[in-house]
């Protein structure tokens, strides 16, 4: 639905960011997705 969304696997940097945000925000995925 959003043409600017990246498709495919996460890069190592993106994966580390997701892990960091999940540790600090918990399972608030809508807030994590806003980053």
Q: Report if pTM > 0.75.
A: no
How far is the first Cα of the chain from the last one, in angstroms, to the nearest whole number? 18
* Distance in angstroms (rounded) separating the CA atoms of residues 35 and 19: 12
Q: What is the pLDDT of residues 7-19, one digit of tens each?
A: 899 999 999 999 9
* Distance in angstroms (rounded) separating the CA atoms of residues 9 and 24: 23
Q: What is the pLDDT of residues 24-33, one digit of tens each?
A: 999 999 998 8
∠ CA 26-29-32 to the nearest 5 degrees? 85
Spell out the domain ranges in the chain.
10-35
* Distance in angstroms (rounded) separating the CA atoms of residues 18 and 3: 21
* Distance in angstroms (rounded) separating the CA atoms of residues 4 and 23: 26
């Amino acid at each position: 639905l959003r043409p600017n969304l990246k498709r495919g696997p996460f890069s190592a940097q993106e994966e580390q960011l997701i892990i960091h945000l999940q540790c600090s925000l918990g399972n608030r995925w809508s807030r994590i997705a806003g980053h």
